[in-house]
Amino acid sequence: MSAPVSALTPAPAKVALPFLPMTRPFVDEATIAGVAEVLRSGQLTTGPQARALEAKLSEYCGGRPVRVFNSGTCTMEIALRIAGIGPGHEVITTPLSWVATSNIVLEVGAKPVFVDVDPVTRNIDLDRIEAAITPATRAIIPVDLSGLPVDRDRLYAIAKKHKLRVVEDAAQSFGSSWKGKHIGTFGDFVSFSFHPNKNITTIEGGALVMNDDREAKLAEQYRLQGVVRTGFDGMEVEVVGGKYNLTDVAARVGLGQLPHLEAFNAKRRELARIYFELLDTPSVRALGLQLPVADFTQTNWHMFQVVLPEERLTIKRAEVMAQLHAAGIGTGIHYPAMHLFKLYRGLGWKDGDFPFAEYTGRNTLTIPLFPAMTRADVVRVVETLTGILKAHQK
């Protein structure tokens, strides 16, 4: 009697899948070669590449003046300084953002005033803004969380009514649009980030879109120690500036990335649609998982974030992340509610002040989304995540 086939044929070895990070930038070979050319040129700091990137970004933003910087944080600080905002002033913003959004308000000596988020969009709740306005209010900093645009019509109607400046924290929404117009082509100050986790990158860096040449010239002064140069040897300093200039090496990366923006964002939309196909089902909805707004016309899908149902789970978010990591899947959190950081508690904020932001901040989970992903990658993420949630239901 012959042995069963299963006894003679070993089971195929389980192949370990490669680690899938939360995000991964793509830099093409032409850009890498271009960076090498810049390095060989000897012109490494701010120069012709930075000016070329500014010109391209200005073209993208409908001809508005654009200046590049070494981060998308200093751009917002400089916008506040240009607007004359400082000690004794208040700036309204959301508690659900990277902490830089409110840190820059403190940096100029003003006071951040938080307004809770809308639980569906997770952006600042525009219905709550006017109640937070006082005689000291000078500006609003809205954040397009995950690239989903804040309602620009309502935002600017409020700003106009109360004579407030707007500094759009569009760090996550480069390539997003509002009613057919790219973010950055209209409005007041618009700040973009080109960090490696953004839709295009300059490694580190950012850009500020302004209203006129006067603001652009002042931004240049704040960007580099307040210096104004004339002729071969003329130098004057009129304001206190910083060291915020973007190098030509970084700018060359941005010049290589910019032509890919539409293709990158199209792929992100495609992947987001697959996530919705697999997650927006009765069985997954029954788990209590909250999905983002399914916007496929205006959002650049910078991130795909779900909100875990803490009240239905026997484990916390950190354990969900740990189990996903053990399965070879990277995740992130964007963001903890910033008013609960020690720095802001010291300014008087406390638990319960902004319940929607606090719940989302405790439970939001950013899952992988970047252009090099495949449908199989999305399936893998969904199957692993839902398996963990099903195994830990109360």
| pLDDT tens-digit readout, 239-285 | 999 999 999 999 999 999 999 999 999 999 999 999 999 999 999 99
pLDDT for 12 equals: 58
Query: Looking at the 3D structure of the chain, how many domains does it have?
Result: 2
Residues 250 and 328 in one domain: no
**Final residue belonging to a domain, choices 260, 285, 300:** 260
Residue segments in the chain with a per-residue pLDDT below the cut of 70: 1-15
DSSP string over 328-378:
TB--B-----GGGSHHHHTTT--TTSSHHHHHHHHHEEEE---TT--HHHH
> Active-site residue among 198, 267, 342, 394?
198
Digit-coded pLDDT (tens) for 321-368:
999 999 999 999 999 999 999 999 999 999 999 999 999 999 999 999
Residue 199 CA, distance from chain mean position: 9
Residue 253 CA, distance from chain mean position: 19
Residues 351 and 362 in one domain: yes
Report d(CA 227, CA 235) in Å as an integer: 7
24: in domain: no
pLDDT for 3 equals: 46
**Three-state DSSP state, 237:** strand
Report d(CA 28, CA 11) in Å as an integer: 40
Residues 254 and 272 in one domain: no
What tokens does 320 get?
């969900």
Digit-coded pLDDT (tens) for 158-175:
999 999 999 999 999 999
% of the chain with per-residue pLDDT over 70? 96
Residues 223 and 333 in one domain: no
Residue 203 CA, distance from chain mean position: 14
Residues 77 and 98 in one domain: yes
Report d(CA 173, CA 362) in Å as an integer: 23
Residues 255 and 280 in one domain: no
286: in domain: yes
* 350 carries an active-site annotation: no
What tokens does 185 get?
């082509």
338: domain range? 261-391
Residues 160 and 217 in one domain: yes
* CATH number of the structural domain spanning residue 322: 3.90.1150.10
174: in domain: yes
As a whole number, the mean pLDDT across the chain is 96
63: in domain: yes
146 with 304: CB under 8 angstroms? yes
**HSE-up of 53 (CA within 13 Å, CB side)?**
31
pLDDT for 293 equals: 98
Residues 297 and 253 in one domain: no
308: in domain: yes
66: in domain: yes
pLDDT for 9 equals: 55
**Final residue belonging to a domain, choices 260, 275, 300:** 260
* CATH number of the structural domain spanning residue 93: 3.40.640.10
**Final residue belonging to a domain, choices 216, 245, 260:** 260
Torsion (CA) 183, 187, 191, 197 in degrees, nearest 10:
-20
Residues 353 and 275 in one domain: yes
- The helix (run of H) or strand (run of E) holding residue 166 is strand 165-169
pLDDT for 16 equals: 77
pTM over 0.85: yes
Report d(CA 207, CA 78) in Å as an integer: 11
Residues 249 and 280 in one domain: no
